[in-house]
Amino acid sequence: MISIKGFAPIGGVADAVLATPDVIEPILDQLAIDGLVSTVAGAHKLTDAGAARTADLLAAERDAWGLDQAGAALELFVPLDHRMKDTVTAWQLTDPVAQVLNDHTDADYDRHVLDRLVQLHNDAVAWLTPLEHGLARLSDYRARLDRALDQAQTGDHRFVASPQVDSYHSIWFELHEDLIQLAGRTREDEVAAGRA
């Protein structure tokens, strides 16, 4: 997961693997001893050896799951991703054309956007669940998205799009990045093709 995040504090790594920091800390310590991660300013990142090991693991997953299946999953994800971008934009701006920030004082407006997020979530789960049979670790994304949506619906609106927590938007971005890598593509290629 550090390869997707790039640079993550222990809490961020723990959130990403559905664990607690006290469970993750000894694992990260061992990875550091093995020379696979380094710690800078309290956050972990892959070393060159860690990046190489991650590339090998990703290639093995890609081979086992199938490049065609990974590519097809990514293609089906793209329309969902466009809806996600629209939803997050609506959460952040009440008028995207005039760039009017959402100050979150209009509870009805926010509820409408959260309802859109729930609809998107249901469609995303329907898309994601069958993929978990081919690559079981994708179920962690579903569990994390469920958790973030639950938090947002119970009033902690940071869990919609804040980078300070394991928000729906942050998890979604990581899922997208993971799919891009599994399909053997790059984000730059996806952006150039209008898919990201």
Question: How do residues 16-64 score in pLDDT, each as one tens digit?
Answer: 999 999 999 999 999 999 999 999 888 999 999 999 999 999 999 999 9
In a shared domain, residues 140 and 45 = no
Domain termination residue (choose one: 41, 58, 75): 58
In a shared domain, residues 105 and 12 = no
pTM given for the model: 0.93
- Tell me the pLDDT band of 127, cut-offs 50, 70 and 90: very high
Residue (of 33, 47, 42) closest to 13 by Cα position: 42
Query: Total structural domains in the chain?
Result: 2
Strand partners of residue 45: 38
Provide mean pLDDT across the span 114-123. 98
| HSE of 195, CA atoms in CB hemisphere, 13 A | 19
In a shared domain, residues 34 and 119 = no
In a shared domain, residues 121 and 186 = yes
In a shared domain, residues 45 and 76 = no
Domain enclosing residue 151, as ranges: 66-192
